[in-house]
A and B are shown apart, each in its own frame.
With several copies, the nearest count.
Chain A
Amino acid sequence: MEPDHDLVLELPTDIRTIEHAVEYVVDRCRQCDSHADRLRLNFRVGLTEALSNAMLYGNGHDPSKRVRVEVTLGPGEITARVTDQGSGFNPHAVPDPTRPENLLKAGGRGLFLMRQLLDEVWYNDQGNQVTLVLRLEPTSPPLSGGARA
């Protein structure tokens, strides 16, 4: 019986095949890297939500107002802070979109997704600045974050 492997190659003895074989293996490893997963889905969707709320609600579609994004890459975590020029809101007052009475509503899933997908989500007192933290630890589950609503 052979043990299970994620990838097995049989190469001819031809040193010209080495470069391609190595690239192939590295590409496959990259795809399975859970950091890459969490950047691709969790961080991307979370940042999209933060930016659209800043533009739609914070800045109220006003094209003369601006949105500031600050990203900090720490050891093992990425922090993105999004600031709008609006007057803020109370994030605790946003209802749970997964309750049956809210399921058919077209809106109201943005904050929920941020909180589900990122490891930390916090607002400043005023409510016009949100900070998203994505942890890059090997033990993090690939798709859902630690902060639940």
Chain B
Amino acid sequence: MTVVDVEGQLIVGNRQELKQKVLEHLEAGDRKFVIDFSNTGYIDSSGLGVLVSLSKKIREQGGELRLSSLNEDLRTLFELTKLDTLFRIADTRDQALEGF
């Protein structure tokens, strides 16, 4: 199980860091991932894109990616883009871990 915090923004300038970190754990054999947004300011379209492509890669390996602790701003971005239908989004990190 890997839990990753996104600190600050998840945008075009830094999205590769998150991608690399998750892919390393995936290669190392982890299959259950939670990305937690408690400390995230905003996300742009390329940040959303990274989440979509990570989710796809993890699913291809039989794993699952869950998201947690999206504030109201971030939730709006997922709703506008309909990506809220693609991810399991938990209110808190603990709820994301429950029964994982």
Give every chain B residue within 8 A of A16 (Cβ-Cβ).
Answer: 13-14
Chain A residue at minimum C-beta to C-beta distance from B51: A106
How far is B11's CA from A75's CA once the two chains are assembled, in angstroms? 30
Name the prevailing secondary structure of the B interface residues.
helix
A123 located at the interface, meaning its Cβ lies under 8 Å from any Cβ of chain B in the complex: no
Output the least CB separation between B88 and chain A (Å): 15
Interface residues of B in 1-43 (CB under 8 A from A): 8-9, 11-14, 42-43
Main secondary structure of the interface of A (DSSP, over half): helix
Contact: B82 with A144, CB < 8 Å? Answer: no
| Chain A residues in 8 Å Cβ range of B50 | 106
- A15 lies within 8 A of B77 (CB): no
Q: How far is the CB of B93 from chain A (nearest CB, A)?
A: 22
B49 to A, closest residue via Cβ: A106
Q: How large is the interface on B (under 10, 10 to 19, 20 to 34, 35 or more residues)?
A: 20 to 34
Q: Which residues of B contact A45 (CB under 8 A)?
A: 42-44, 77
With a CB–CB cut-off of 8 A, which chain B residues contact A112?
Answer: 45, 80-81
State whether B13 touches A97 (Cβ < 8 A). Answer: no
Across-interface contacts of A108 in B (CB, < 8 A): 45
Asked whether A107 lies within 8 Å of B77 as measured between CB atoms, the reply is no
Q: Does A98 contact B (CB under 8 A)?
A: yes
Choose, from A48-56, A65-73, A76-84, the stretch at the interface: A48-56
Determine the distance from Cα of A110 to Cα of B46 in the docked complex, in whole angstroms.
8
B-side residues, CB < 8 A to A, are 8-9, 11-14, 42-46, 48-50, 52-53, 56, 72-73, 76-77, 80-83, 85-86
The 4 tightest CB contacts between A and B, nearest first, are: A109-B45, A52-B12, A106-B49, A106-B53
